[in-house]
């Protein structure tokens, strides 16, 4: 006699939205960021029903930035869910940023129904083709049954080799299509990438070059942070007494306050090192392409990278070590351990670096100690640094705000610094902060996120303050407000300019409205807002914000409109913006 239960199961129907959500769940996706609408709303609902967290944002670009930061922080891609046409186009900035930063990301975009293609359907756009320029992998499943296979490949592509963005296109008719549950075969979770190691002979050569260096330098990039190489790199630094320089998002792999950190003598270290070991750091604009006059013409580079195509970019390296950064660092340690050795801490090189560090730090402290009002950048950052929790995430973007903040605001833990990154992208700050807050709430309750924004940078994604308040995220926003892009004007000068002419004719392109009360954006949605003009007000508002764990805060910090970075030799820009 036939099994009636089997007959019922064989006829059970499941929606395309549920299939998509289950495929994501099977691939260990934890977070989806996006803006719902036709045709993707049902996907978000189905994902929530399966336990995936959905965070509704106010702009697809910010949603995509948030999803990409999840990839960096967790090693598995966050998902950005967007509607067709304009929604997808808004997310392209996030895809490009993820690809340039080498962070895992999966974008899922709705598209018009298949039977309306080429007919001028609502929001019709060649989405798969458009995304190929911004991603490692871009595809549309041929059927609902193919969805789990395509999503597994997208997730795998996003984390294998050099991580990056991937795109999966979902036609509208897939979402509500009902299919037999037995026709769907889910692909098991793709495993973490296999650990690759460098050639033994290359490791031996690298160790020999390091031992022979008279003026060595380690550069720690965000690739080392992503590879969780902190323990092995710190051992290398300490065991062999080697000076190191972190790139902006390499900060914290070894704590910034470590005695062998030479960040305050950055240009001196780069310019006179004779051997430089790059751990997951690329010789791009951030490191001045590895070329003179920033470097010695005969400097020997040792490149450690997961991506073969990166080896030899812009320079001819002395040694290339292709492989997982953590594994390769352990190989180096093993090889160096064979012959007891350490770089002498009393060397002339160390003396030169320490003298320059002391000189630059003294100049910064002198600027920070100025009592005149409005405050300058250094005064603000030194007061902020005094109160920052050691385990907080620091998110930063802006021009001078980010550049100077990198030299003053310290990181003590890996993967706790997020900023504009390789692509120099403005507008990432609030999305990154929201992603960090979600990870902190789930994995380290009580951690705070300090998001340091220039006033111009804040404007790119300011409405995400509502997202922060809606989810009650543990974020403190610091808007360092100089009334402009790079520089602005005070209110009196502004009024004089507008006396006789139209603003568009006379106001310099860099200027923003003076004394804007950005803190009121936060209070409008129920958070705490502070308008700060003095060091005492800054200290008090930050202390109150850190003590109040029930609401997010925004501190609007007024500084001298013409304030800029001091003349120094360790800022990160290849050339001045002004």
Low-confidence ranges of the chain (pLDDT < 50): 567-578
Q: What is the pLDDT of residues 236-245, one digit of tens each?
A: 999 999 999 9
The predicted pLDDT at position 115 comes to: 85
What is the chain's length?
A: 578
Query: Looking up tokens 């404007």, which residue turns up?
Result: 459
The strand ranges marked E within 224-324 are: 244-246, 275-279, 300-305, 319-322
Give 3-state DSSP helix, strand, coil % of the chain, rounded to 5. 45, 15, 40
Cα dihedral sign, 446-452-455-461: negative
pLDDT given at position 534: 97
- The CA distance from 397 to 403, in Å, is 8
Please answer whether residues 552 and 469 qualify as being in contact, where contact means their C-beta atoms are separated by less than 8 angstroms. Answer: yes
Cα separation, 65 vs 226, in Å, equals 17
CB atoms within 10 A of CB 122: 13
Residues 131, 295: Cα–Cα separation, whole Å:
37
Q: Which residue has the tokens 């960090």?
A: 436
What pairing do the DSSP bridges indicate for beta strands 393-397 and 78-82? unpaired
The strand pairing partners of 335, in sequence order, are none
- pLDDT at residue 3, rounded to an integer: 56
Strand partners, 302: 277, 319
State the Cα–Cα distance between residues 103 and 97, nearest whole angstrom: 9
Residue ranges and CATH numbers for the domains of the chain are 13-183 (3.40.50.970), 200-353 (3.40.50.1220), 370-558 (3.40.50.970)
Ramachandran area for residue 228 (φ above 0: left; ψ -120 to 50: alpha; else beta): left
Q: What 8-state DSSP symbol labels residue 190? A: P
Please report, for residues 174, 242, 300, 345, 350, the alpha-carbon distance to residue 214 in angstroms, rounded to integers and kept in the order given: 64, 11, 11, 12, 10
> How are beta strands 165-171 and 553-558 bridged, if at all?
unpaired
Alpha helices by DSSP H, listed for 102-246, are 127-132, 147-159, 172-175, 200-212, 222-226, 230-240
Can you give the pLDDT at residue 572? 41
pLDDT at 569: 40
The model's pTM: 0.94
Distance CA 80, CA 35 (A): 9
Residue 394 bridge partners (DSSP): 417, 450
For position 324, what pLDDT does the model report? 98
| pLDDT for residue 497 | 85
**HSE, side-chain direction, 13 A CA sphere, residue 204:** 3
User: How many Å apart are CA 44 and CA 35, to the nearest integer?
Assistant: 9
Q: Which two tokens stand for residue 242?
A: 């080697």
- Beta carbons within 10 angstroms of residue 424's beta carbon: 17
């Amino acid at each position: 006699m036939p099994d009636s239960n089997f007959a019922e199961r064989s006829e059970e129907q499941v929606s395309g939205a549920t299939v998509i959500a289950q495929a994501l769940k099977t691939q260990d996706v934890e977070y989806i960021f996006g803006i719902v609408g036709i045709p993707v709303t049902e996907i978000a609902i189905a994902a929530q029903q399966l336990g995936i967290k959905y965070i509704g944002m106010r702009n697809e670009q910010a949603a995509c930035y948030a999803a990409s930061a999840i990839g960096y922080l967790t090693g598995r891609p966050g998902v950005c869910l967007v509607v067709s046409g304009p929604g997808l186009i808004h997310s392209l900035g996030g895809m490009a940023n993820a690809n340039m930063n080498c962070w895992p990301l999966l974008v899922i975009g709705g598209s018009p129904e298949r039977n309306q293609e080429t007919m001028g359907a609502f929001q019709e756009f060649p989405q798969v083709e458009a995304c190929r320029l911004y991603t490692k992998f871009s595809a549309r499943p041929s059927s609902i049954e193919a969805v789990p296979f395509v999503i597994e490949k997208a997730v795998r592509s996003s984390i294998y080799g050099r991580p990056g963005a991937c795109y999966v296109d979902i036609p509208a008719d897939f979402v509500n299509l009902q299919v037999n549950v037995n026709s769907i075969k889910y692909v098991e979770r793709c495993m973490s990438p296999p650990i690759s190691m460098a050639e033994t002979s290359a490791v031996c050569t690298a160790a020999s070059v390091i031992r022979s260096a008279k003026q060595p330098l380690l550069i720690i990039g965000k690739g080392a942070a992503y590879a969780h190489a902190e323990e092995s790199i710190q051992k290398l630094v300490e065991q062999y007494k080697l000076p190191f320089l972190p790139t902006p998002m390499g900060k914290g792999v070894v704590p910034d306050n470590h005695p062998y950190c030479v960040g305050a003598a950055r240009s001196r270290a780069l310019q006179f090192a004779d051997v430089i070991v790059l751990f997951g750091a690329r010789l791009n604009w951030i490191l001045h392409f590895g070329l003179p006059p920033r470097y010695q013409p005969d400097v020997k580079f040792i490149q450690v990278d997961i991506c073969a195509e990166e080896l030899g970019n812009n320079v001819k390296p002395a040694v290339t070590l292709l492989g997982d950064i953590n594994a390769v660092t352990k190989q180096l340690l093993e090889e160096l351990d064979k012959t007891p050795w350490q770089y002498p801490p009393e060397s002339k090189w160390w003396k030169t670096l320490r003298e320059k560090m002391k000189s630059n730090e003294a100049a910064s402290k002198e600027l920070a100690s100025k009592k005149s009002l409005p405050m300058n950048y250094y005064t603000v950052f030194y007061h902020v640094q005094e109160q920052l929790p050691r385990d907080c995430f620091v998110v930063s973007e802006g021009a001078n705000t980010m550049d100077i903040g990198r030299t003053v605001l310290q990181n003590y833990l890996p993967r706790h610094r997020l900023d504009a990154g390789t692509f120099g992208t403005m507008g990432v700050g609030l999305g990154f902060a929201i992603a960090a807050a979600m990870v902190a709430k789930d994995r380290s309750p009580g951690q705070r996120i300090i998001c340091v924004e220039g006033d111009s940078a804040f404007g790119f994604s300011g409405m995400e303050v509502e997202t922060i308040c809606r989810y009650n995220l543990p974020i403190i926003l610091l808007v360092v407000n100089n009334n402009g892009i790079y520089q602005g004007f005070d209110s009196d000068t502004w009024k004089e300019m507008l006396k006789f002419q139209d603003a568009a004719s006379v106001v310099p392109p860099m200027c923003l409205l003076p004394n804007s009360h950005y803190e009121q954006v936060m209070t409008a949605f129920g958070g705490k807002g502070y308008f700060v003009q003095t060091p005492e007000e800054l200290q008090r508002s930050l202390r109150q914000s850190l003590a109040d764990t029930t609401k997010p805060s925004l501190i609007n910090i007024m500084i001298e409109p013409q304030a800029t970075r001091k003349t120094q030799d360790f800022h990160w820009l290849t050339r001045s913006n002004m």
